Amino acid sequence: MVHLDHPVRSRRVKTGEDWIIQNLAVAPNFKGGTLRAIIMSADNYVPVGIANLFVLPDADDPILDFSKGQYFATGRIKRAV
């Protein structure tokens, strides 16, 4: 989960409508993927999918429900040195 301190207004390419991006789910892009590569080495990166969440999950819920948001981008992350 990533919460942006300042919401970003953006235009959705798929619909052409504006939407607000503030609460993001960032997760490995491939089924069964993990973030282990970035833990093991600062040179490694992990491809991720990014979803804009419309409903925040309960803090006690161990499973993130991606149906409460909209996938909108891919990217890659690595550990900061």
pLDDT tens track, the chain, 81 positions? 888 999 999 888 878 889 899 999 888 888 788 878 877 877 788 889 899 998 887 778 777 777 888 888 899 888 877
Could you list the residue range(s) of the whole structural domain that residue 20 is in?
Answer: 2-78
H or E element in which residue 69 lies: strand 69-78
Q: Beta strand pairing status for 45-53 and 18-28?
A: antiparallel
Query: Cβ distance 50 to 70 under 8 Å?
Result: no
Q: In the prediction, which pLDDT does 45 show?
A: 84
Q: In the prediction, which pLDDT does 6 show?
A: 95
Domain count, the chain: 1
Q: In the prediction, which pLDDT does 7 show?
A: 92
Q: In the prediction, which pLDDT does 5 show?
A: 94
How far apart CA 68 and CA 76 sit, in angstroms, is 22
